[in-house]
Each structure stands twice: as structure tokens, then as C-alpha cells.
């Protein structure tokens, strides 16, 4: 019995030792990701400063990262045994991202973690995930994987963003493509958009078809929804009125496709199941067409479009210049012809009269030319 108890105690210590190592590796990985993020933000800030020297004289926005990123993850100062201490000395973490599943929460640290969405997740694990947390990842990169997120984790209801560079209200438009959001948490750290007084109302307005329950842990009330509509309702109307007709038709077509797809999926289901999915159906097809015109284009896609537009403008300019040059040359030749034509006509008539003055010789010449052609 003493031997068994000793073995159990040893296994318990070994397991505790292993957990401590994993915990420390996680902490070091997160700190490493935070350092990479900090360096990236500093490079972006330096580029912006070089492009606009005036900004260097203005005080730094308190919500911008200033090298204190790592302070969000303080080092643990608790006592470690000698064996763990020796193990940690040889622990070298070079990972630039971290993917962690803890209960019903999927946490992604670093842009490399987004590649995990391409994995073949088990049905049980994917169905269990209800909360997805993004940390130290550019929001524009997150936007590109939102369709995958919707497919891989259909039960995800709660999104968390920390250090993701949410800087303007327009970025929230991208979340409308998801299947469902019940809760949204935007950490003030690394997300300057929360400094806007009306950011929550804009989220409620733009994502009204989700009927969100909480934003940053605060319950959403009916008064909040009314205020959101009152503040931003005119925005959707203006956006839709300024949009070309073909774009409106396209957006309306997408909405109809969603509705038709839902009707097909619900066909043949029991009435009880349909009633339970009533709220979900509203979320799927309930997005207002006017609100759908408020979308978000990432910087990279926007820059690609700008380059494409520049190339088209350059081609059109060159093409028009060539047409103008060709038309100018034709006009100059036409003017020269108009000046020379009276004299040329007189000479042509004179030569013809001289040539047919002697009919016999002219006929012989014509016959000779016909014979030569044969």
C-alpha cells in the first residue's frame, strides 16, 4: 500500500510538473506573440510618421500600443521547484502563434493561428465551440477567414477581440456575413474604436438582424435598439440611395438566395423544430437590404482595387491618346487632299482627254492590255 501510494504521489507530481511546463510554455508563447505584434505596430507607426511628418508633433493616442503590450500578460512570480526551474532554463519558445481550446472557447493568438481554421476539426470539438477569441491579429486578416469560421464552428455565438486594430465603425460591417452573434466583446486595449461614444449603437444598428443580447458584458435593451435606429437609420437610407442600381439588385439577389436556402433547409422538418429555429431564420434572412449596402473593404483589397483602377485609367488614357493622334493625322491628310484635289482633278481630266483623243490607238491599247492580262 505504501508503494502504491508513493507511485500515485509520484505520478501526481509528474502530472503537476507537466502542467506547469505547459502553462509556462503557453505564457512564453503569448509573450513572444505580443512582442511580434508590438514590433509590427511600431513599424506601421514609423511608416505613417514618415508619410506625414505633422503627426509626429501630435501627442500619442493613449489607445495606441507604445511598447507596453507585454504588461497585459504579467509574469508569474510564484515559487518554482528546482526540477521545474531547470526544465524552464532549457525551454526555448520560438512560436509566433498559439491556438488553444479551453472548454467551449477557442482562443487564437497571432495571425498564424488563423491557419488552424483550415484543419479538419472533429464534429464534437467544432460543435462544442461557442466562443472565439482573437488576440494580436489584424482585423483585416480576421475578415478574410470569417466565412471559414461560419462553416467550421456553426455554434459560435460569442466573439472577442483584443489587440486587433479595430479603429473605425465601418469594420463592424464585416461581421454581418456571419451566421449568428449573440455576444460581442471588444477589449479597449489595441482597439481604438471603443473610444467612440456611439460605437455600441452602431453595432446594434448594423447587426440588428442578429438580435444581440450582450455587448462587452452589458445586456442589450429595447431602448438601445430604438436609439441605434434613431441615430443611424438615415445612414442606411443615404447609402442605398447613392448606390448604383446594379449593386442594389445584386444585394437584393443575395438576400433572396439566403431566404430561398432557408426555406429549402426547413422543408420536411417537424413543426416543433421549425418553431425552435424561428429566431435563427430571422437572423439568416432578416438583414435589411439598406443595411446590407453598408459593407467593409479591407485595406489590401482596397489597394488592389486602386491599382486595378489606375491600370485601367492608364490603359484608357493611352488608348484615347492613340485615337486622338490617329484622328488628327487623318484630318491633316484630309485637309491636304482638299487643297490638292482641284489641281489633281484637272490633271486627271486632261490626261484622260489626251489618252482617248485618238480612238483607234486607244482601242488598240485597251485590247493589248486585255491580251497581256490573259
Domain ranges of the chain: 98-266+285-297, 306-373
pLDDT at 150 over 60: yes
> What is the pLDDT at residue 13?
80
Whether residue 285 has pLDDT greater than 50: no
Q: How many CB atoms lie within 10 A of CB 292?
A: 22
Rounded-to-10 torsion of CA 341, 342, 346, 352: 30
* Cell numbers that stand for 325 in this block: 493622334
Residue 371 has pLDDT above 70, yes or no: yes
What is the DSSP-derived secondary structure letter of residue 55? G
355 Rama sector, left if φ>0, alpha if ψ -120 to 50, beta otherwise? alpha
The model's pTM is: 0.62
In this structure, the number of other CB atoms found within 10 A of the CB of residue 117 comes to 19
Q: Among the ranges 54-68, 130-144, 301-315, 343-357, which has the highest mean pLDDT value? A: 130-144
Are 204 and 254 a contacting pair, CB within 8 Å? no
* Beta-strand runs (E) in the chain: 98-102, 105-109, 131-135, 158-162, 183-186, 214-215, 218-219
Strand partners, 101: 106
pLDDT in tens, 342-357: 999 998 898 888 888 8
Q: Residue 185, Cβ neighbours under 10 Å: how many?
A: 15
Reported as a pLDDT band with limits 50, 70 and 90, residue 257 is low
| 136 sits in which H/E element | none
Spatial contact of 255 and 285, defined as CB atoms under 8 Å apart: yes
SS3 call for 328: helix
Instruction: Please tell me the predicted confidence (pLDDT) of residue 277.
Output: 47
How far apart (Å, rounded) are the C-alpha atoms in residues 85 and 91?
10
What residues are paired with 219 via a beta bridge?
214
pLDDT (tens digit per residue) in 34-87? 888 888 888 877 776 776 665 555 444 433 333 333 334 444 444 445 544 544
Q: Which residue is associated with the grid cell 420536411?
A: 268
- Which pLDDT value is given to residue 137? 93
Mean pLDDT of 132-153: 91
Find how far residue 258's CA is from the centre of its chain: 21
185-218 pLDDT tens trace? 999 999 999 999 999 999 999 998 898 999 999 9
Residues 223-236: pLDDT tens digits?
999 999 999 988 87
Closest CA to 182 of 162, 154, 210, 152: 210
- Mean pLDDT of the residues in the chain: 78
CA dist 36 and 39 (Å) reads 5
- Identify the pLDDT of residue 89: 44
- 98-266+285-297 CATH, one of 3.80.10, 3.40.50, 1.20.1260, 3.30.420: 3.80.10
Amino acid at each position: 500500500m505504501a508503494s502504491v501510494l508513493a507511485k500515485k504521489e509520484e505520478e501526481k507530481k509528474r502530472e503537476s510538473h507537466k502542467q506547469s511546463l505547459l502553462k509556462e510554455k503557453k505564457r512564453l508563447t503569448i509573450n513572444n506573440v505580443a512582442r511580434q505584434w508590438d514590433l509590427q505596430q511600431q513599424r506601421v507607426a514609423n511608416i505613417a510618421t514618415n508619410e506625414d511628418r505633422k503627426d509626429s508633433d501630435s501627442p500619442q493616442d493613449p489607445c495606441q500600443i507604445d511598447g507596453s503590450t507585454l504588461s497585459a500578460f504579467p509574469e508569474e512570480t510564484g515559487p518554482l521547484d528546482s526540477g521545474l526551474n531547470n526544465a524552464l532554463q532549457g525551454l526555448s519558445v520560438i512560436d509566433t502563434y498559439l491556438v488553444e481550446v479551453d472548454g467551449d472557447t477557442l482562443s487564437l493568438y497571432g495571425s498564424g493561428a488563423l491557419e488552424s481554421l483550415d484543419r479538419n476539426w472533429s464534429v464534437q470539438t467544432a460543435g462544442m465551440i461557442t466562443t472565439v477569441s482573437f488576440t494580436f491579429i489584424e482585423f483585416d486578416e480576421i475578415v478574410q477567414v470569417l466565412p471559414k469560421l461560419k462553416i467550421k464552428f456553426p455554434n459560435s455565438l460569442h466573439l472577442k477581440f483584443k489587440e486587433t486594430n479595430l479603429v473605425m465603425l465601418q469594420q463592424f460591417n464585416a461581421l454581418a456575413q456571419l451566421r449568428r452573434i449573440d455576444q460581442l466583446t471588444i477589449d479597449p486595449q489595441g482597439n481604438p474604436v471603443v473610444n467612440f461614444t456611439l460605437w455600441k449603437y452602431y453595432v446594434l444598428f448594423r447587426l440588428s438582424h442578429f438580435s444581440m443580447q450582450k455587448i462587452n458584458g452589458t445586456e442589450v435593451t429595447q431602448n438601445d435598439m430604438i436609439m441605434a435606429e434613431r441615430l443611424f437609420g438615415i445612414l442606411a437610407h443615404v447609402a442605398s440611395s447613392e448606390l448604383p442600381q446594379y449593386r442594389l439588385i445584386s444585394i437584393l439577389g443575395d438576400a433572396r438566395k439566403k431566404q430561398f436556402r432557408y426555406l429549402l433547409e426547413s422543408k420536411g422538418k417537424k413543426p416543433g423544430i421549425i418553431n425552435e429555429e424561428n429566431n435563427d431564420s430571422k437572423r439568416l434572412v432578416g438583414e435589411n437590404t439598406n443595411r446590407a449596402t453598408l459593407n467593409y473593404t479591407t485595406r489590401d483589397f482596397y489597394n488592389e482595387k486602386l491599382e486595378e483602377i489606375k491600370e485601367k485609367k492608364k490603359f484608357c488614357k493611352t488608348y484615347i491618346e492613340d485615337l486622338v493622334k490617329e484622328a488628327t493625322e487623318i484630318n491633316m491628310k484630309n485637309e491636304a487632299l482638299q487643297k490638292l484635289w482641284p489641281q489633281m482633278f484637272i490633271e486627271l481630266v486632261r490626261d484622260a482627254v489626251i489618252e482617248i483623243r485618238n480612238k483607234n490607238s486607244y482601242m488598240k491599247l485597251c485590247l493589248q492590255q486585255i491580251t497581256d492580262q490573259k
